[in-house]
Each structure stands twice: as C-alpha cells, then as structure tokens.
Amino acid sequence: MSVKIKISYEHDQELQEIISLIKPKIKRCSKADKQGKYKRAYIEVK
C-alpha cells in the first residue's frame, strides 16, 4: 500500500522540513514547476 501526498509551499526550506520528518517512509518525491505564488511537491510514501 502507498499514499500520495500533495504539498504546497512558498520556500524550499518548508519542503525540506516536511521531507526530513517523513524521510524514512518516502518512496518517491518530485517537484512541480513553479506556478504562481505557491510551489508544489508530490510525495509517495510506503
């Protein structure tokens, strides 16, 4: 089973904090191209 999470953030450090919290469970992480005020990242966890 896997879970997909969509994260919206403004600063790269915000994403790094989230990744460090769930790092042992991350299966895949990808960043979307910057669009508008918020950036997006997609994380798939085991």
**Amino acid, res. 25:** K
- What pLDDT score does 34 carry? 74
- Supply the pTM of this predicted model: 0.81
- Which residue numbers in the chain have pLDDT < 50? none
- What pLDDT score does 5 carry? 95
Q: How many whole angstroms separate alpha carbon 3 and alpha carbon 44? A: 6
